[in-house]
Structure 1
Amino acid sequence: MKAEVEKVEDMRELEVRHWYMEVHVEYNRKDMPCELTSELMQVLMRTAVDEMFGESTSSLPLDILKFNAAQGIVLVRVPASSYSKVRAALTVCGQVVVAGVGVRVSYRVARASGCLLSLAGPQRSIT
């Protein structure tokens, strides 16, 4: 019993360096002047953060790990120190400009975690 207690005390919590977000993007496909790619999605998300927080966040590493245009699902990795800024900017963003055309858009963070593996399985809900 005493050995188990010592093991628990020796365990250290891992530092979370990145946050992973599953973001659902809703927009009218007819309004989009060009095909939405992962590169364009990264630019649009970065622009949303820049508009809300200014140029101080322009060098923010925002990585698109997976993009499914058909379903409108984006898997994003951001530094843990900037997670709240990115989530706030995406939540507030209501319109993006693509090729000079304003397109209404809605970002919804469906799931977020400091561990990528936790986003791999199905979403659990209490029923």
Structure 2
Amino acid sequence: MKKFEISNFKMMSDFDIRILREENDDVDIIVAIGDRVVNLIFNDIIEGLGSRIQFVDIKNIIVRFNKSKNLNICTIHMLKKIDLFSAVANFEIDYSKYCICVEAKEGFVKMYLDSY
């Protein structure tokens, strides 16, 4: 997996990670996964929720975060196309204790948080 790190944001991916926009301390990155199923795995991080949420036919994942050391919340957008208006879902993650991992599997993409 390729490692991507800016400030206190860490990501590992089997896919290329590109910076879309960097303005002041705000950064948008894109992970092109090419029309695949994404299984967002929880590993008991959220009590009472099952093991995963599945998103189908996702082309791109965009992650928006701020490079400031005291801001540790990113927004993740699951997209059907390249633009934000094609978002199937978006959600926030506190990445202060985690590395976001995007792993290619046979027939799907596994996305999860790994502690470091």
Compare CA radii of gyration and give the structure with the larger one. 1
Q: TM-score range by the shorter chain?
A: under 0.3
Comparing both structures, which one devotes a greater share of its residues to strand?
Answer: 2
Higher RCO (C-alpha under 8 Å, 6+ residues apart) = 1
TM-score by length of 1: 0.26
TM-score, L = length of structure 2: 0.27
